[in-house]
Chains A and B, each alone.
Chain A
Amino acid sequence: MAFLFYLAFCVLVGGLAWRMVTYARTPAPLKIPTTPAPTTVPGVVFRMAREVLLFESLFKANLWIWGFGILFHFGLVLVLARHLRYFTDPVWGWVVLIQPFGIYGGMVMVAGLAGLWVRRLAVERIRYISTPSDHLMLLLLLTIGISGLSMTFGSHPDVVGVKRFFEGWQTFSPHPLPDSALLVLHLMGVAVLMIIFPFSKLLHAPGVFFSPSRNQVDNPRERRHMAGWAARFDKETPHG
């Protein structure tokens, strides 16, 4: 299991870095922000923040998807924060404080995922565009969420042992994982998620920051925008 997590970690970090470098290196030759768009850099930062934190565009589009999406993502943030207790020692103060909220986060996250899946199955349009991987992704996330919640509310595994396992993992001195089928299921799910992250639609997470329709400043008349291959043309055309 420790090895699997080393692999998963490397794939996640390496894969994401590779994708982000690819995005960053691909030029955006033309100004294409979806207008009305901010005319300054701070304005763009603010627009992006609204997009990433509040899902502004989704809010305009469809309240159901927005609601379930918000539940899932904010639940997830709380859950991830709660899990920091396995990776910090001594556990950071704010992580201790939010522990109970992490549990609510877990429930909210599962509720959000369930809602999204019901929509995917029930709404004809969304069913039409869904691929098997879209369903499997939800299944995977739900497996992780539900197995996690079951451990919190049902069969408590030896959390001290889990912590020792991850401390060992961090210092390359492996400790055995406590014996629990649910725990293995939970961790396997997480490892799979980490591995497929850079190769799947989960790339929407880094992708949103690179989206030219959202991250460009609306100032094409004030500044001459030149990028990459498109900038070379001027030198080839003699003009007088």
Chain B
Amino acid sequence: MADTVTAPPYRVIPIVPALKPGAMKDVRSFVANEKIQTAIGFPGKLTDDWKERALSKMGELLGQYRSLKVYMDACVHCGACSDKCHYFIGTQDPKNMPVARQDLMRSVYRRYFTLAGKWFPRLVGARELTREVLDEWYTYFNQCSECRRCSVFCPYGIDTAEVTMAAREILDSVGYGQKYSNEIIGKVHSIGNNLGLPGPALQDTLLGLEEDVKEDTGVDVRFPIDVAGAEVLLITPSADFFAEPHIDSLIGYAKVFHAAGIRWTLSTKASEAGNFGMFIGNYDQLRRIALRIREAALELGVKRIVVGECGHAWRVAYSFWNTLTGIGAGANDPFALQLQRQLDGRYRQPTHICELTWDLIERGALSFDKSANDAYVVTFHDSCNVARGSRMGETPGGQFEIPRNIIRAVAHHFVEMPENTIREQTFCCGGGGGLLTDDLIDLRVKGALPRMEALQEVAKTHGVNFMATICAICKAQFSKVLPYYQFDRRVVGGVHQLVSNAIQLGLHH
């Protein structure tokens, strides 16, 4: 299938495309098999009583999440969000319009949970939950990357990501899970990271990296793991350990720690920042995956927890960790205090690696040779979860400024992509939210269209040849889809890759 996938043409005039109903109805992510499902506590296959189960789960979620409850009621079908989704723009399938995606669930909500839908189903567009509807849920709720772009524009802040998460949770509860996400969650529990990299392999990789960096720079930059008593515990996406271009950012973090003289460590137990529990909307998984980090922090006795370049992981870390695990501040309960007393209150907990690096730059603790990046004209792709689900620094919008500040500090040439494709209006890479799988390559290529158009524009006008980003999924997705748009796959890379190129080691210590 992958061979037949082609990129849609750039739009000559960036107008909203005409609808192509059903265009993506056959693009379905692989369904999880029995082994994958049961390993993480879901029914192995579609249960006989799926309809009752699904409806009772839906009722349960409506009582547990105010977001879902309000969002089901509040939409006025104004259509403000209808042209904001990259998957709609790239596929033209009307069911990929955020409001239409929500309506897949809202129609069922109305039928079973509202008077209007019980009495006048046709009038309010209410539908029975049939097998066809359930299949449609599976298809289109696995074509949403939970990027929240739609929620920026909705007058009531309706966030389709919340609806998608609820839908996936319902699907999982009736035994209709997605292979890619659920398999990865299984690996996190059995091995410790999403890529299934066991501890010894990890140690080998890190030793290899130490040798490589020594060869390159002549400096002994360490990549420590499981070091009790280190000051900083670094939690980073496992792709950083071996995937390209991710690994170059890992080298960048290590160089920053080295140059600043910070004692840091990785952890085999928590060798993964990613948390796919969020993608499938399962609170229990979200929490259990996050608790590994709490445990590692307690065992190693670290003072600070720093998170590497990973978009959704940063959303989970920044927005949810304090709630889920107590990593943060301001608690008054014993569970959270146990950890918060150990952590150093002078630092933000958790800290993003970009916050750490930028603080050091501001304090003058790092020096750079900017010309090392002179081959590049750099632009910055805001990752959706960082942009719309988190913050960095003290002021709102710090998540936009800090990475850009770093880039400007380490490179001479920086150019912005068009206004409506960056910062809070950034477009998802097309592979987020549990969709970074080959069985969805068609969707991924098409979903990347708006970002590729923006990149194309600055490539043409300013000669941009490097798109920096701070997300493991963005890096993997772009490496894969850039060639479909006639770009070299190495056009994408990490912010700390640029840092790594320019940082001067051995000056301060």
Is the Cβ of A132 less than 8 Å from the Cβ of B123? yes
Task: For the complex formed, measure the closest distance between the CB of B311 and the CB atoms of chain A, giving whole angstroms.
Answer: 13
Quick one: given A58-B78, A65-B78, A203-B73, are A234 and B335 in contact (CB under 8 Å)? yes
A190-207 toward B: CB 8 Å interface, digit per residue (1/0)? 000000100111011001
Residues in chain A near residue B122, CB distance under 8 A? 132
Is the Cβ of B389 less than 8 Å from the Cβ of A32? yes
Q: Please pick, from B99, B123, B331, the residue contacting A136 in the complex, using a CB distance under 8 A.
A: B123
Quick one: given A57-B153, A234-B336, are A130 and B77 in contact (CB under 8 Å)? yes
Q: Please pick, from A29, A60, A201, A211, the residue contacting B77 in the complex, using a CB distance under 8 A.
A: A201
A167 touches B (CB below 8 Å) = no
A31 touches B (CB below 8 Å) = yes
Is the Cβ of B323 less than 8 Å from the Cβ of A65? no
B5 touches A (CB below 8 Å) = no
B67 touches A (CB below 8 Å) = yes
Name the interface residues of A100-142: CB closer than 8 Å to any CB of B.
119-120, 123-126, 128-134, 136
Residues in chain B near residue A152, CB distance under 8 A? none
Is the Cβ of A31 less than 8 Å from the Cβ of B123? no
Is the Cβ of A207 less than 8 Å from the Cβ of B74? yes
Residues in chain A near residue B151, CB distance under 8 A? 34, 213
Q: Of A20-28, A156-164, A180-188, which stretch is located at the interface?
A: A20-28
Q: Please pick, from B79, B294, B389, the residue contacting A125 in the complex, using a CB distance under 8 A.
A: B79
Quick one: given A203-B73, A234-B335, are A29 and B424 in contact (CB under 8 Å)? no
B18 touches A (CB below 8 Å) = yes
Q: Given the complex of chains A and B, what is the CA–CA distance between A86 and B99 in angstroms? A: 40
Q: Of A74-82, A168-176, A225-233, which stretch is located at the interface?
A: A225-233
Q: Please pick, from A57, A69, A132, A220, the residue contacting B328 in the complex, using a CB distance under 8 A.
A: A220
B100-129 toward A: CB 8 Å interface, digit per residue (1/0)? 100100000000001110001011110000
Task: For the complex formed, measure the closest distance between the CB of A141 and the CB atoms of chain B, giving whole angstroms.
Answer: 12
Residues in chain B near residue A130, CB distance under 8 A? 77
Residues in chain A near residue B66, CB distance under 8 A? 23, 26-28, 210, 212
Task: For the complex formed, measure the closest distance between the CB of B301 and the CB atoms of chain A, giving whole angstroms.
Answer: 14
Is the Cβ of A221 less than 8 Å from the Cβ of B153? no
Residues in chain A near residue B261, CB distance under 8 A? none
Is the Cβ of A35 less than 8 Å from the Cβ of B333? no
Q: Please pick, from A35, A51, A120, A239, the residue contacting B155 in the complex, using a CB distance under 8 A.
A: A51
Is the Cβ of A201 less than 8 Å from the Cβ of B65? no
A39 touches B (CB below 8 Å) = yes
Quick one: given A34-B151, A133-B123, are A199 and B77 in contact (CB under 8 Å)? no
Quick one: given A32-B67, A214-B157, A234-B336, are A129 and B399 in contact (CB under 8 Å)? no
B19 touches A (CB below 8 Å) = yes
Residues in chain B near residue A221, CB distance under 8 A? 318, 322, 328-329, 348-350
Quick one: given A35-B396, A200-B116, are A125 and B78 in contact (CB under 8 Å)? no
Q: Given the complex of chains A and B, what is the CA–CA distance between A200 and B328 in angstroms? A: 41
Residues in chain B near residue A129, CB distance under 8 A? 77, 79, 82, 94, 97, 99-100, 103
B249 touches A (CB below 8 Å) = no
The residue in chain B whose Cβ has the minimal distance to the Cβ of A225 is B323
Is the Cβ of B389 less than 8 Å from the Cβ of A35? yes
**Interface residues of A, Cβ cutoff 8 Å to B:** 19, 22-23, 26-32, 34-39, 51, 55, 57-58, 60-62, 65, 69, 119-120, 123-126, 128-134, 136, 196, 199-201, 203-204, 207-208, 210-214, 218, 220-226, 228-230, 233-235, 237, 239
6 residue pairs, one from A and one from B, having the closest CB atoms: A207-B74, A131-B125, A61-B153, A36-B396, A213-B157, A61-B80
